[in-house]
Amino acid sequence: MSVVLTEKVLDDRALLITLNRPDARNAVNGQVAREMAAILDELDADPSLVVGIIRGEGRGFSAGMDLKAFLEGDVPMFEDRGFGGFAQRGPKTPLIAAIEGFAVAGGLEMALACDLIVAASDAKLGLPEVKRSLIAAGGGLLRLAQRIPYHVAAEIALTGDHVPVERLYQVGLVNRVAEPGRALEVALELAGQLVDNAPLALEGSKYVLENAADWGMQEGWKQQDPVMLRVNQSEDAREGATAFAERRAPVWRGR
């Protein structure tokens, strides 16, 4: 039985990915990691898909690592993709997390591995690892330190407490706050804005954004140039300019 389900949505231009272990609070085991990694490979390989949306079945997004499985030697990692099959190395295609209920520990780390986050206003988000003598080594500490003010990141990581979604929205970690029960609806609305854009430009923009902090400004100009040339010299770039001049919607080919 699959523990990660998929469905094409938004006229088959987006892939809805569902963590499907509701009885285990969508906790991540080795099977989840393997299936997620394979699905994200397929997402990148399908030129008709320009965005992925990840959600959890049942009451919440994910409670993180399946501790029972871990104690039995089942590691929730997959090769160089890391925790959950993508926390360390994600896809080239943009991802949106749609959070209802809770995204804690590794669940929040998977959400942080996405490019955009939509969360219900009553969702519980946090990194409680310190309460179990663990650290959030699935990217939680690394990404928080880059994306929000240090003292806010330190409070989240060192207290282990849940953080109100509204506060995470105020510091820029959450993109959209949805009414309870509407996180997926709002995430689909956000995805709808992405699918109208050119796939090569989306992929190239994500690549530069993800790596800019590591490159620094001077190196960044050098690294950005080949990405820019690949996108700007594409058929889609010509189509974008032509469609603008002809006052019509562009038809993207992904090449």
* pLDDT at residue number 112: 98
DSSP 173-233: S-SEEE-TT-HHHHHHHHHHHHHTS-HHHHHHHHHHHHHHHHHHHHHHHHHHHHHHHHHHT
189, 190, 246 from 249: Cα distances, Å: 19, 19, 9
* pLDDT at residue number 1: 86
pLDDT tens, residue by residue, 189-223? 999 999 999 999 999 999 999 999 899 899 999 99
Asked whether 62 and 100 are in contact (CB, 8 A), the reply is: no
pTM: 0.94
- Please tell me which residue, 241 or 114, carries the higher pLDDT value: 114
Q: Is 97 helix (H, G, I), strand (E, B) or coil?
A: strand
* pLDDT at residue number 67: 87
DSSP 44-63: HH-TT--EEEEEESTT-SB-
Instruction: Give me the chain's average pLDDT, please.
Output: 95
pLDDT tens, residue by residue, 85-142? 999 999 999 999 999 999 999 999 999 999 999 999 999 999 999 999 999 999 999 9
185 is annotated as an active-site residue: no
Of 35, 100, 129, 203, the active-site residue reads 129
Over residues 171-187, the mean pLDDT reads: 98
pLDDT band at 184 (very low <50, low <70, confident <90, very high): very high
- Please tell me which residue, 10 or 235, carries the higher pLDDT value: 10
Of 35, 100, 109, 203, the active-site residue reads 109
CB-neighbour burial class of residue 37 (10 A; exposed 0-12, middle 13-18, buried 19+): buried
100 is annotated as an active-site residue: no
* pLDDT at residue number 173: 97
Strand-pair partners of 116: 96
Reported residue count of the chain is 255
Strand-pair partners of 78: 82
Residue 255: pLDDT over 90: no
* pLDDT at residue number 243: 85
Residue 70: pLDDT over 90: no
Over residues 140-163, the mean pLDDT reads: 96
pLDDT tens, residue by residue, 24-65? 999 999 999 999 999 999 999 999 999 999 999 999 999 999
Residue 188: pLDDT over 90: yes
pLDDT band at 254 (very low <50, low <70, confident <90, very high): confident
